[in-house]
Amino acid sequence: MRLTSIGRQLLMTIALPVILLALWWVVSADNTSPFWPSLQKILQAFPDTWTSDRVMEDIVPSLARLALGYALALLVGVGLGTVIGLSRPVRAFLEPALEFLRAIPPPVIIPVIALFVGYSGWTSKIIAIALGCLWPILLNTVEGVRGLDEVLVDTARSYRFRRPTYLYQVVLRGSSPQVATGARQALSIGVIMMVISELFAADNGLGAAIVQAQRAFAIPEMWTGIILLGVIGFLLSLIFRLAEWRALAWYRGLRRSERGT
């Protein structure tokens, strides 16, 4: 019963991608337009485009910058979000400004960052990714910390938990469902920022590789880069969901029991 339901779920999950790929394959098969090469051609270009050298030069730096920027945003976002969420005066003071900053589309901060550290190099890209990821993490953390049940907080106070215990065991774990929501949104923003930050300087990285291929009229190669980005984005969100599934098992159980099933 359980195995078959997992099997059915799997089938449901991969059915549409498989159908779309098949459709793409068939429709593009005898395409003569140079801008829409056939899927077959694109796939054939894959091994030559993404040699292990290119993986080391483009994909690894891209992912490393994403990881660093994302980690920085998590650290700062959760830390700052906790401070803001715990203090009503700080919140009242900062919240309007935060809402305004969040409304600014993250890509426009890249030229601003470039004024200080230039377009090329790692620093500007990591800062751009981190700033893009920061807002959803920060604002969701504030929301989660503020929403902590006051009885849980009173319990911690009456048993005189030490500060670190209180911050980790009560505040952080209690707000973790909201933090995860923010982190999930931030991950997709992070991938976008990773690519965009590379488009400006176009020195190395996945985004740069796509632009370079396009400028060189290597259209099938350009398409391989786009497909690769899609796959990477998909895998990252899969990893995220797995981690979330494990870490927030209690939250699912709680929600299920509250709904009374």
Partner 1 sequence: MPDTLLEVHQLKKVYETASGPVEAIGDISFDMRQGELVCIVGPSGCGKTTLLKCIAGLLKPTAGTIRLADRPVTGPPESMALVFQEYGRSLYPWLTVRGNVELPLRHQKMDAAQRSRLVDDALEAVGLEHAGRSYPWQLSGGMQQRVAIARAVAYHPEVLIMDEPFAAVDAQTRADLEDLVRALHIERGMSILFVTHDIDESVYLGERVIVLSTSPTWVQDDIAIDLAPERDQITTRALPRFTELRTHVYEQIQRAKRGEAVRPQA
Q: List residues binding partner 1 (CB under 8 A).
A: 149, 151-152, 154-155, 157-162, 165, 169-170, 173-174, 176, 250-251, 253-254, 257-258
CB of 103 to partner 1, least distance (A): 29
CB-nearer residue toward partner 1: 30 or 246: 246
Outline where DSSP puts E strands in the chain: none
CB of 94 to partner 1, least distance (A): 23
Distant-in-sequence, close-in-space partners of 225: CB < 8 Å, separation ≥ 6? 49, 206, 209, 210, 213
CB of 257 to partner 1, least distance (A): 4
CB-nearer residue toward partner 1: 2 or 163: 163
> How far does CA 109 lie from the centroid of its chain?
18
- 184 burial via Cβ count (<10 Å: 0-12, 13-18, 19+): middle
Q: For residue 8, give the DSSP letter.
A: H
CB-nearer residue toward partner 1: 178 or 204: 178
CB of 32 to partner 1, least distance (A): 59
CB of 158 to partner 1, least distance (A): 5
Tokens 């790929």 — which residue?
Answer: 21
CB of 167 to partner 1, least distance (A): 13
Terminal C-alpha separation, the chain: 19
Instruction: Give yes or no for a contact between 58 and 205, defined as CB atoms under 8 angstroms apart.
Output: yes
CB-nearer residue toward partner 1: 48 or 154: 154
Instruction: Give yes or no for a contact between 164 and 238, defined as CB atoms under 8 angstroms apart.
Output: no
Q: In Å, what is the CA distance from 102 to each residue of 72, 107, 120, 163?
A: 17, 12, 25, 30
CB-nearer residue toward partner 1: 11 or 152: 152
CB-nearer residue toward partner 1: 178 or 197: 178
CB-nearer residue toward partner 1: 53 or 150: 150
Dihedral of the CA atoms 13, 228, 137, 150 (nearest 10)? Answer: 20
CB-CB neighbours of 69 under 10 Å: 26
Q: For residue 106, give the DSSP letter.
A: G
CB of 2 to partner 1, least distance (A): 19
